[in-house]
Structure 1
C-alpha cells in the first residue's frame, strides 16, 4: 500500500488493474451501513453512490471490521489508526474504485448551462484533488458482482441444449409444446382483436358522443397485465392548454445565459462534460 500523505499534496497514479486487497476492502465498505452512503447525480446525468471521508474512517476502525479482518478468508488488511485508514483511501483511488467528488449547491448548479437542480438527489461534480477532510465526499466506481450470474449462465446453456435436442424429446412433451404455442397465439390474436375493436368504438364516439369513449383505457399504459384491463371503460377528458410556461421558461434561459454586463456566459468547460483519465491529488486539511 502507498505511504500516507504528509502535509501538502502529492499526485496519486491510478491504474485499471485492481488488486485483490483493494477489491476486498471495497467489497466490505460498499453499502456498509456505517458509511450511510447516498445516491447523487454525477455531472447531473447518472446516479453515483457517495459518502463522507469521516464515515470511511469510522467503518475501518469499527469492531465489525476488526472481527472480519481476523478471518483470513476475507482478505482484509489490519487497520490500527486513522493513518492506516488514509492509506486505504489512497489504495481505493489508485485502483479506480472511488473518486473524489464535490457536492454542488443550488447556485452552482444553476450557473452551469443545461443543468437543472434535482429535488430528490444532490448534484455531484468530479474534482482532481482528494481532500483528507472529515466532510470530504467520495463516489463509488465499484459495484458488487451479481451473485446469481453463474446460475443464469447455467440456465441459459441448459435452455440452448434443450432447444437443440428438441427432435429427441418424447411425444407427450412435443404435444405439450404445441398446445402451449397455440394457446399463446390465441391470446395474442385476442389482444389484437380487442385493440381493433376499441379503436373502432373510439372513432365512432368521436362523431356520435360528446366525449371520446375508450374501451379498456389502460390497455397500452405502462402497468401490470391485470391493471391494463381495469377499468372496463372510460371517457377521455379534454386536455387543458398550458399557459405561459413556454414563454417563462424561455425568459429564464435567456436570463441565465446573459450576465449583468451584457455578455453571454460560456457555461461549463468542455472538459467537465467528458470522461477522461485524470491524476488525483491528495491534500490534507487541518481541522
Structure 2
C-alpha cells in the first residue's frame, strides 16, 4: 500500500510539473489577450495552408493543427512559443472560427470530413474545418458581373457597331488562346514521350511543368522546363500531402 501511494504521488508531481511548464504567466496572457482573434483568424485564413474537402452536406476548407501553429509562430512576435500558439488557437476554437473534424471512409471508397466534438486545440495532424469565411465580396462581385454580362448579351441587337466588332475580336482572341494552350499540352506530351523513350526511360523532361497544375495563370508558365534523371522507369512516388 505505501508503495502504491508513492507512485500516485510521483504521478501527481509529474502532472503538476507538466502543467507549470505549459501554463502561461499573467504577463503572457495579457500580451496574447491584446491580440484581436478576428484579425488572427483573417490572417490564418489567408496564409495557413488549407485543403478542400466535403462533409455530408457541403464543400469545406480545412487545415492541420500543426500547420496553423507553425504559421502563427513564424509570423507573430507575440506568439513565439508553442504554448502561446495553443492558447490563441484554443480561443479561436472557442469562438467558433473553426471546428474539429475527422476523415471517414464511405462504403464507395471516397473520404469525407465529419465534424467531431473537441474542446481543446492540439498541435498535431488533427483536422479543423473553417467556418470563418473571407472574401465574400469577391463572390458577390462575380455574381453581379455574371448577371450584368447576361443582360448585356441579351441586349446584343441594340449594341452599337463598335461593340459588335469588338465582341468578334474578343471571341477570336479567346479562341486563339484556347488553341494555343491545347497545342502546348500536346507539344509537351510529345516531347516527354520522345525523350523518355530515347533515354531508355531514364530522363523525365517536361516543358512548362506547372501548365496543368492548379496555379495562378502566370505561375503556370514558370519554370520553362524541368529535367530529372532517374535510375529506374518505375520510381517510388511519395505524396507529401498523404494523410
TM-score using structure 1 length: 0.37
Higher relative contact order by CA 8 Å / sep ≥ 6: 1 or 2? 1
TM-score using structure 2 length: 0.43
Structure with greater Cα Rg: 1
